[in-house]
Chain A
Amino acid sequence: MADLRLKNVTKSYGAVEVIKGVDLEVAHGEFCVFVGPSGCGKSTLLKMISGLESITSGDLYIGDDQVNEVAAAERGLAMVFQSYALYPHMNVRQNLSFGLENLKTPKPVIEEKINAAAKMLQIDELMDRRPRDLSGGQRQRVAIGRAVVREPRIFLFDEPLSNLDAELRVDMRSEIAQLHRQLGNTMIYVTHDQVEAMTMADKIAVLRSGLVEQYGKPLDLFNDPANIFVAGFIGSPKMNFIQGELQGNRLLLKNGESIELPEARFHLKDGAKVTLGIRPNDIAPGSDATHGLNANIKSVEQLGGDSYIYAVSDMGDNITVHRPGQVNVSVGDKLLLEVDVDTTHLFDTETGLTLRKNRTGNTSEASAQ
């Protein structure tokens, strides 16, 4: 059963449409991440789910109930805000109990729930402190605690880690993931950081300018992006893009070089303008000119365990190459880079859509543009 369902949901501020028709289903217990560049509408979408923003058109279902007009308080959700939004004049205990008091929970029950949550989040020592006396990470825990004690149907997280330093962010990331396993609730998590999305999510929805570009499991998005945007957004370092034109089963580059593509994997149409997408892992210095590409090395990063080669092709495209282990190249070298055509991606340059055949693992393809 779907815990949360969005049917062609839109949101406009006057004439400006910020959410342009989103269809989405989140199953019970799933950890769903909304990811996208800033301004893509992901936070707005979350606020619409929470009830803090109204829905212009479309339907929102929580469980089996259509909740478009239901007030935020009545939807039974809990939210963790980007700025934590703790009540500055209350101590941690009061912060945690405020919601329960509003629900008219009996005092002993409140006490019990708060203590359990505090223990789980390791904030039981901080109960009498005010938010301003807490560190960023502690505030974060209290904010999560405030959501946990309410025992909501769905947790909503609005970029909860963006105010933390890098180290703490990694810790909290795994803690939230663990919390999800422990509680088993549905969670919806908004972030602009694709690493957070990849590491935490059961399902990722990639948003761009008010539309869901692709919705699926993290690795499906990585292995089989529906379009150039998703391909470029998911994965770090970013995917390399090289433009060219199809000639039979060969991709003709501007400088006359060509790369042979397997017809079994792609819909190849003679003369079509296409973009080849190569993950940094799927390209390596080699000797096979049929899948090769000449490039100059701009810089090399040797991390010992991993190496990154930053090169520029003859057409001026930046190409990042990731190799495990160490490489024996140096800046200024001319190099033939061999593309692994069995794992590359091919997109129509005009529509941006993938040209791949036999696509796998796309349970819900939201952006059939």
Chain B
Amino acid sequence: MAKAIDFLTRTRGHGKLHWTDWFTYAYLLFGILLMFGPVVWLVMSSFKTDAELDRFPPRFLPYAAQTVELEGYSKPLPLYKVVSGELAGETVAQVRRIGLTSQVVRLDAPDQIVKIGLKDREPIERISIATENYTNLFSKFDFLRFFWNSTFITVVATVIMLIVNSMAAFALAKYKFSGRAAVMAMVIGVLMIPQTVVLVPLFIVTKELGMLDSLWGVIVPGAATPTGIFLLRQYMLTIPDEILDAARMDKASEWKIYWRIVLPLSAPAIAVLAILAIMWRWNDFLWPLIALSRSDNFTLQLALNSFQGEMTTQWSSLLAMTVLTLLPVALVFAFLQKYIATGIASTGGK
């Protein structure tokens, strides 16, 4: 622990701060601001009420007007502090606003309406967390449905992709067959074709297979990715052939060699691919948008999109759902990120 602190607070100026230290810290702070600024802003905004979201200039913390329940009024009334005029210094509740005047009542005399100018009052506000943004997702919208759709697509597609890709990579890395170079060249060639180019053919194929507007229509087209095959193959090339030969001498079938020897030994590369696949799938928007049309089948990304109407956008719900959508990938990444580093670093050397 002491060592860690020592490391983190190490400076070039030996005790004092050299200008490079200032520069480094400033640079790092800038980086943090750049990376985390939008995320923090998003989280903060997701707790704001619609009124607060519409406010300009925006404020960092979520504020809400303080309200009071008075006899004779069905809704809670917002509180204001009067700053000028005859009621200056008093706290009043606003009944309604008409043009540039505001009809208010004193708290001790709720039935006597007083008219004051808008500029004579200031709202009384306090920090308040609008949790209803989140609860609405569950009560008004079918959040769990979308969440399930996204999870199902992500998990199933990732598993299928890992199996298909690793089997293809195993064959391309460890078997000698005629046409291997051609197949490999094709796989790498596909890497160079942007997805948008194949969108229409892909749509037609999916439609012909009758998988349109079903979750499988999103899962199956991405079952084998050239990136995944290439990544795994390069890693599997580093597994010595002698180990496979040893397994063959040990009477292991080719399937068993794949399952018991090659897969466990490629674990770092597979972990990397798994993380990438989860992120791709979870964040995928374009293809689900094309393939899915019933809102029952919507993924989170599509549901988010549907908050944005032609005329209005439900910002409060949109922001809250964005936060919930971010969480799973962030967690997956946090738990698996160490494999990315080791997976990329340990390309072979056993």
Check A81–B245 contact: CB distance below 8 A: yes
Q: Could you say which of B240, B242, B249 contacts A73, with CB atoms under 8 Å apart?
A: B249
Check B252–A72 contact: CB distance below 8 A: no
Task: Given A88-B350, A98-B252, A102-B256, decide whether A83 and B265 contact each other with a Cβ distance below 8 A.
Answer: no
Task: Given A83-B240, A87-B261, A89-B265, decide whether A77 and B249 contact each other with a Cβ distance below 8 A.
Answer: yes
In angstroms, how far is the closest chain B Cβ from the Cβ of A109? 15
Residue in A closest to B252 when the chains form the complex, CB atoms: A102
Task: Given A102-B256, A132-B350, decide whether A85 and B251 contact each other with a Cβ distance below 8 A.
Answer: no
Give CA–CA (A187, B267) in the complex, Å.
36
Check B243–A99 contact: CB distance below 8 A: no
In angstroms, how far is the closest chain B Cβ from the Cβ of A95? 9
- Residues of chain B from 191 to 244 with CB closer than 8 A to chain A in the complex: 240, 242-243
Q: Could you say which of A47, A88, A103 contacts B251, with CB atoms under 8 Å apart?
A: A103
B267 surroundings in chain A (CB, below 8 A):
89
- Which secondary structure dominates chain B's binding surface? helix
The winner among A51, A72, A150 for most chain B CB atoms within 10 A is A72
Check A73–B252 contact: CB distance below 8 A: yes
A/B pair count, beta carbons within 8 Å: 63
Check B245–A73 contact: CB distance below 8 A: no
Check B246–A79 contact: CB distance below 8 A: yes
Interface size class of B (residues with CB under 8 A): 10 to 19
Check B247–A81 contact: CB distance below 8 A: no
Residue in B closest to A94 when the chains form the complex, CB atoms: B260
B6 contacts partner chain A, Cβ-Cβ < 8 Å: no
Check A85–B240 contact: CB distance below 8 A: yes
- Residues of chain A from 59 to 95 with CB closer than 8 A to chain B in the complex: 71-74, 77-79, 81-83, 85-89
A47 surroundings in chain B (CB, below 8 A):
245
Give CA–CA (A47, B243) in the complex, Å.
14
- Digitize A226-247: 1 where CB-to-B-CB distance is under 8 Å, 0 elsewhere: 0000000000000000000000
Check B245–A85 contact: CB distance below 8 A: yes
Check A73–B251 contact: CB distance below 8 A: yes
Q: Could you say which of A51, A74, A99 contacts B250, with CB atoms under 8 Å apart?
A: A99
Give CA–CA (A81, B248) in the complex, Å.
12
Check A52–B245 contact: CB distance below 8 A: yes
Q: Could you say which of B243, B251, B350 contacts A102, with CB atoms under 8 Å apart?
A: B251
B57 contacts partner chain A, Cβ-Cβ < 8 Å: no
Check A87–B247 contact: CB distance below 8 A: yes
Task: Given A73-B251, A103-B251, decide whether A85 and B264 contact each other with a Cβ distance below 8 A.
Answer: no
In angstroms, how far is the closest chain B Cβ from the Cβ of A62? 14
Check B265–A88 contact: CB distance below 8 A: yes
Known contacts A71-B248, A74-B251, A132-B350; can you find 13 more A-B pairs with CB under 8 A? A52-B245, A72-B249, A73-B249, A73-B253, A79-B245, A79-B246, A85-B240, A86-B243, A86-B246, A87-B243, A98-B252, A98-B260, A146-B250
Chain B residues within CB distance 8 Å of chain A: 240, 242-243, 245-253, 256, 260-261, 264-265, 267, 350
Chain A residues within CB distance 8 Å of chain B: 47, 50-52, 71-74, 77-79, 81-83, 85-89, 98-99, 102-103, 132, 146, 150
